[in-house]
Structure 1
C-alpha cells in the first residue's frame, strides 16, 4: 500500500483512506480492528459502519439512510434526497466522525458518489472515511468524488 496525497480547490476537511485488494485478504477484518479500537471513541463523536455489497449497485440514498440509522439508532423519518442530505450534513457537522464504507464495488456512477459525499464534505476537520473495495477504480472514484485528499492502495 502506498499513500497518494493531492489537494485541489475541492479539498475538504474529511480524509478518505481506501483499502483495495482481492476478496478474502482481510480488508474488512483489518477495518473492523480499527473501527472497534476503543481509543478511537475519544477521537470521534460518531462511528458509522455501512456495508455496500455486491451485487447491489451503489445507491447513495440507501447508503445515506443506512448511515443515519447506524448513527442515531433509528430509521430516518425523512425520505427525499434533499432531506437526507440535510440530515446527514447536520449529523456530520456536530463533531468528528469515522465512517466505514465496506465492500464497495460500483465504479460506474461518479454522480452517485458525489451525492453521498456532498454532505460528508461538511464534516469537521480530521473526520475520516475508511473504504474497502476489491477494485482500485472504486477507490479512485471515491477519492475523486470527495475531493482527492488521500487514497491508499
Structure 2
C-alpha cells in the first residue's frame, strides 16, 4: 500500500509514493519562481525506486541553467500542464515530486529552503527552518552552511 498518492489537475497522471520524502523543501530560485508563477516551488525529494507513475505519457521541458550549465528536466502533464516531477542530471537517483500534486499534502512539513538570496522579500520562514542562500549542497557536493535567520 502506498504511503502517499497524487496526480495532475486533470487526473490523467497518477502516482504513488512508497515512503516519506528524504526532504521536503521550498526552492526560491528564479527558475522555480518563473516555472511555477509563484514565490517558490514546494518539492519532495525521493529515490526513484520509491516513485511509481502510471503509464500516462509526460512531456519534458529541459532547462539548462546559464549559471552552472546543468539541466533540470521538468516532467508535466501534456493535457493540463501540471508539473508532476523534476529530475536532474546532477542527481540521477533522485526524483523531486511536487508537494501540491499530493491528494493530501497536509502531513508534509516544508522545513528547509534553498536559494533564499533570490527569494521574494515578503516570504518569511518558520522558526527552526533550515535556510540556505543558494543550494543546500556546494558545487563539489559538500553540505553548504545554512544562513542564520
Q: Which range, TM-score by smaller chain?
A: under 0.3
* Larger radius of gyration between Structure 1 and Structure 2: 2
Structure with greater strand percent: 2
Task: Indicate the structure whose relative CO is greater, using CA pairs within 8 Å and at least 6 residues apart.
Answer: 1
Give the structure-1-normalised TM-score. 0.25
TM-score normalised to structure 2 length? 0.25
